[in-house]
Amino acid sequence: MVGDNGYLIFGIGFLAQIFFSGRILCQWILSERAKEVVSPTIFWVLSIAGSYLLCIYGWMRNDFAIILGQFISYYIYMWNLNEKGIWDKIHWLFKTLLIITPIVAAGFALNDLPNFVDNFFRSQHLPLWLLVFGSIGQIVFTLRFIYQWYYSYKRNESILPSGFWMISLIGSFIIIAYGVIRLDPVLILGQSVGFVAYTRNLIIGYRHAKTLKNEE
C-alpha cells in the first residue's frame, strides 16, 4: 500500500518523466516537419528540468542507479543550452541553483559515506546484482549524451547524431527490464514512450542522409 510519501515520490518521478517524454515528442515533431533530425532548444530545457526532478526521485527512492545516470548527463544539458545561446539569458541566481544542486547532493552523500553505502549498496530491498544491472542500463543510456557532446563539440554546434539514437534504444531496453524487475512504473512508462521516437529519428536521419547523397 502506498502512503502519503509514496504518492509524493511517484508524483515527482512521473513529473520528471513527463518532461523527458515531452522533450522527445517535441524533438520528434520538429524533426518530422524539417524532414531531418534536429536538436531544438526546447529539448535541452525539458531535459534539465526532468533530470533535476529525477535526481530528487532517485534520492527519495534510495536508487543509486537512477542518480548515477542523471549526474553524468546533467551538465551536458547545460553545455547544449550554452551552445544554443540560452544559458547566458538565464538569471544568475537560477543558474547558480542549477549548478550547485548536484554538487550539494553529492556532498551530503559523501559527508556520511557509511550511511550512503548502506542505503544504496546494501539495501535489503535491492540486491547488488540488480543495482549493478540497473546502473549498467543508466550508464549505457547516459553514454548517448557523452557521445552527443563529443560529436557536437567537434562540430561547434548542438547536434543529435544517429549514434545517439542507437545507444538510446540499447540503454532504454536495459532500463525497462530493470524497471519491470523493480516494479517501477515511472521507469517503465518513461522509457517505453521513447522507443518509437528513437526508431523514428533513425529512419528520418537515414532518409535525410540518402536525400543529400542523391543531390550530390
Greater confidence (15 vs 62) lies with 15
Q: What is the pLDDT of residue 62?
A: 66
Domain count, the chain: 1
**Residue 158: domain span:** 4-215
- Within 8 A by CB and 6+ apart from 32, the residues are 200, 204
Model pTM score: 0.77
Cell 518523466 belongs to which residue?
Answer: 17
Q: What is the pLDDT of residue 184?
A: 76
pLDDT digits (tens, 9 = 90+) for 103-147: 776 666 566 566 666 655 555 566 777 777 877 877 887 889 999
Q: From residue 66, how far is each of 54, 101, 107, 139, 153 by CA, in Å?
A: 7, 16, 17, 10, 26
| Helix (H), strand (E) at residue 179 | helix 162-182
Q: What is the pLDDT of residue 195?
A: 79
Greater confidence (74 vs 65) lies with 74
| Helix (H), strand (E) at residue 190 | helix 185-215
Measured from the Cβ of residue 143, the count of other Cβ atoms closer than 10 Å reads: 19
Q: Tell me which of 90-104, 128-142, 164-178, 190-204 is least confident.
A: 128-142
- Within 8 A by CB and 6+ apart from 56, the residues are 12
CA distance 95 to 197: 30
Q: From residue 38, how far is each of 33, 121, 162 by CA, in Å?
A: 10, 39, 11
Greater confidence (112 vs 9) lies with 9
